[in-house]
Amino acid sequence: APPHVAVVGGGFAGASAARALKRQGADIRVTLVEPKARYTACPFSNAVLAGLRDLDAQYFGYDGLQRDGIDVVAASATAIDAEARRLRLDDGSDLAFDRLILAPGIDLMLDAIPGYGALGAEVMPHAWQAGEQTALLRRQLEAMDDGGLVVIAAPANPFRCPPGPYERASLVAHYLKAHKPRSKLLILDAKDTFSKQRLFEEAWEQLYPGLIEWVSLSFGGRVTEVDAATKTLTTEFGSHQAAVANVIPPQRAGAIAAAAGVADRTGWCPIDPVTFESRLRPGIHVIGDAAIAGAMPKSAFSANAQAKACAAAVATLLAGGQPAAPKLINTCYSLAAPDYGISIAGVYEPREGLLAEVAGAGGVSPLDASADVRASEAAYAEAWFDTITGEVFG
């Protein structure tokens, strides 16, 4: 019988890996385990919040994967026995595998901020897993009176999509400027620096002067407690009462990672940077947001790149070969306005047991660029989204 690879999680990482394995040309049976019938993409969900895009544009199905010959099982993995190479599903069934690729994404640690929790998330949505949370935060922004205070609480590193909170601030500011110009936006940050910071700050000065205030960790940005009933966010330096509060809590690998024994004390999964095989449980590979990928940011672009490298390594291992060290690329585009894009790019390779950045290979958009350059990058961002979702789900 051909070897069997099970993939858990049908997001950018898992769906890419399942497809890449099938496209190796190798004789491998691939099963994708994913409980949701449709996937909701996070990239461009900040544009949904700003009213620039329909949530429907974020949904993708698994028909294309099934057409490729991938067996798509609509269930959740609840336990993994690495030694016996078996997977337990929530429908009570078992699945045997030769190798497993685990791609469960993130879990939000709702209880890490006192006063938040599952109830808090219904009042002060995180919208860090796109879907109902995105729609909820959008409705709150639409219902808010002109002159209201919007607060975004951003987490410490590491977290999904490092530039995401600042793209969100930009696009929400774009909406406020057009529809509720007396409103203000406050970012309470648990960090002292953030991705593409100078580019974002330049954009905010140009596009939204006086609208956005960013408070860093050192100036009391870390939220220590919230009160959902009054939408109050408390920091070490005082409290802020919001009209709309977007609280993005700390994160860790999806729960199945800890259950499988592949997450370490940080909550994330240490991996071999050549094969993405777990350092804790042989035979299980971890990719995407759940993995500790060294210098690579937690992005859909990274997840897709890791998936292809991991699929190649798994196919080689199953054939008894020695996987070659990969080179991986990431580019993260962000929109500061619909026609104003900025980007950061990097190239990564295994070094000293981690994925390290190749010096001089990446970079960020220039400061002081023309409107044409920013508009081109906004168009590239959209083209990137169409390309990656076509490749992964189309």
Residue 377 binding ligand FAD, by CB under 6 A: no
Binding to ligand FAD (CB under 6 A) within 15-44 occurs at 33-36, 39, 42-43
| Residue whose beta carbon is closest to ligand FAD | 11
- Helix then strand count (H, E) for the chain reads 10, 25
Please say which residue, 46 or 140, places its beta carbon nearer to ligand FAD: 46
Is 341 a binding residue for ligand FAD by CB under 6 A? The answer is no
The 300-319 contact track toward ligand FAD, x by CB under 6 A, reads xx-x----------------
Binding piece for ligand FAD, criterion CB under 6 A, among 103-111, 201-209, 276-284, 352-360:
103-111
Task: In angstroms, give the least distance from the CB of 129 to ligand FAD.
Answer: 7
Under the binding rule (CB under 6 A), the answer on residue 125 touching ligand FAD is no
Q: What's the CA gap between 262 and 265, in Å, rounded?
A: 10
d(CA 139, CA 388): 28
Contact 300, 116 (CB under 8 A): no
> How many chain residues bind ligand FAD (CB under 6 A)?
37
Q: Kindly state whether residue 161 participates in binding ligand FAD, applying the rule CB under 6 A.
A: yes
Q: Which two tokens stand for residue 142?
A: 């639409």
- 256 lines the binding site for ligand FAD (CB under 6 A): yes
Write phi, then psi, for 135 (nearest 5 degrees). -65, -40
Q: How far is the CB of 147 from ligand FAD (least distance, A)?
A: 26
Residue type, 367: L
- Residue closer to ligand FAD (CB basis): 220 or 294: 294
- Per CB under 6 A, the segment of 53-61, 97-105, 183-191, 193-201 that binds ligand FAD is 97-105
> By CB under 6 A, what part of segment 192-251 binds ligand FAD?
none
What are the C-alpha distances in Å from 261 to residues 40, 82, 264, 267?
27, 9, 8, 11
Member of 30, 212, 226, 332 binding ligand FAD (CB under 6 A): 332
268 binds ligand FAD (CB under 6 A): no
Using CA atoms, how far apart are residues 157 and 144, in angstroms rounded to an integer?
A: 30
Please report, as a single letter, which amino acid is at residue 369: A
Which residue, 220 or 270, is less far from ligand FAD as judged by CB? Answer: 270
107, amino acid identity: D
- Does 160 participate in binding ligand FAD (rule CB under 6 A)? yes
What is the smallest separation between the CB atom of 303 and ligand FAD, expressed in angstroms?
4
Judged by CB under 6 A, does residue 104 bind ligand FAD? yes
Query: Judged by CB under 6 A, which of 24, 58, 76, 343 binds ligand FAD?
Result: 76
* Residue 54 CB burial class (10 angstroms; 0-12, 13-18, ≥19): exposed
47 binding ligand FAD? (CB under 6 A): no
Residue type, 390: G
Tokens of 104: 């469960």
Q: How far apart are the first and last CA of the chain?
A: 29
Nearer to ligand FAD, 220 or 338 (CB): 338
* Best CA proximity match to 160, nearest among 262, 54, 43: 43
Give the closest residue to 164 by CA, choosing from 328, 336, 389: 336
CA atoms within 13 A on the CB side of 296: 30
Reference 319, options 25, 9, 11; nearest CA is: 25
* Chain residues in the site for ligand FAD (CB under 6 A): 8-14, 33-36, 39, 42-43, 45-46, 76-77, 103-105, 128, 160-161, 164, 168, 254, 256, 288-289, 298-301, 303, 332-333
